[in-house]
Structures are given as C-alpha cells and as structure tokens.
Amino acid sequence: MMENRQKMVKRAVKEIRDGMNVNLGIGIPTLVANEIPADYNVLLQSENGLLGIGPYPVEGAEDPDLINAGKETVTAVPGSSYFDSAESFAMIRGGHIDLAILGGMEVSEEGDLANWMIPGKMIKGMGGAMDLVNGAKRIIVIMEHVNKHGESKVKSACTLPLTGKQVVHRLITDLAVFDFHSGRMELVELQEGISIEEVKKKTEASFSISQNLLTAH
C-alpha cells in the first residue's frame, strides 16, 4: 500500500508548477509536500491558517503548535504567514488557490467527488473540501482505485454524500490517470506495469481511452 501511495504522490507532484499556490487535502495528499522540487517557488496553503508549509519535520524537531489541516506536525518555509480561518477561506473562495490536491472516497464518471463522510461513522466535519472544489482553479484527486473489499472507487455514480458535482479535473489512482471533460471521463495514462484490461476490470465507471495514451515511467 505504501508503494502505491508513493506512486500516486510522485505522479501528483508533476501537476505542480513553479509559482503556484497549492492546497493539499488531508491523508495521502499531505505527502506531496515532501516531494516538491527544491528549486520550485511553491506556497502550500492550509485552511487552518498557514501559507508556506514545508516538509514534515525530522524526529525530535516537531513543533506541536505548527500543524496542517490533518493535525499533523509540519514545518514552515521562510516567508510563511499565519492567519485565521476567515482569511484562509477568503483565499480559497476568492479564487487565489491555483491547485487543490485532494483525497477521495469515490469519484464518478462525470467528475463528481465524495470525500468527506461515510454514513454511520463519526466525523468531525466536512473541513474545507466543499469550498476548495468550488474555489480552487484546478482540482486533482488522488486515491486508491479499489477499496479494501476490492470494490471500485471509480463509480458510474457516487453512492456516498457528495462534496461537489463535476468538480474533478484529473483523477490519479494507483492504476491510472483520468481526465474529465464536460461530464465525460477519459483514460489518459497508465501507471507503470498496468494494462488497459486491468483498469477496465477494476473500474465501474464508463470511460473513453485517449488516442495519446501514456504509460508512466
């Protein structure tokens, strides 16, 4: 599982461009912070009030007051800034976040996203996901292709409560990369060692295949 997660994280990093303001969702997306090229001028924003998140701290150097939205200890880069939730969400709702990389529980073939709750399980709240999918300029979702029961998380229609409808621009899983165009899903890239047949077998959603289909290296 860790190998699959690292594969998705490394692929997600390729979506980041120098000069971007980026929000990383809780879970797997937070690992992206450790992989951003050192020569990139990228500001990572957390909706709990930090602009300028750095990599995870080394053991023994943790600051319990310095955390991301997932309540994990982080570092801050030179020039970082701190602010309250009102200012944080004004950044998001005002369209100042270039890219949001979020986790997902389900993504539909139309680009709908469900990532904030499972009915019957205790949750602390929806966090900033609903604002991010509407306020960020581009939404990338990274998640495992199937759940622990072997069932596809890439659905014809989401069965879990939605975070947003037709909000996903690109989906990165441990098997493949998909793009969404006007409610239609397209396979654009295969992860290394994965065949189209395997993707079809493990995907409930209907999708087309790009004429320029790539294979990750």
Q: Which residues are catalytic?
A: 47
- Ramachandran angles phi, psi of 78, nearest 5°: -55, 135
How many distinct helices (H) and strands (E) make up the chain? 4, 13
How many angstroms separate the first and last alpha carbons of the chain?
Answer: 19
> What is the DSSP code string of 38-88?
TT---EEEETTTEEEE-SPPPTT---TT-B-TTS-B--EEEEEEE--HHHH
Tokens of 164: 């947003």
Tell me the C-alpha distance between 104 and 158, whole Å: 11
Burial class (CB in 10 A: 0-12, 13-18, 19+), 84: exposed
Helical (H) or strand (E) element with 208: strand 208-215
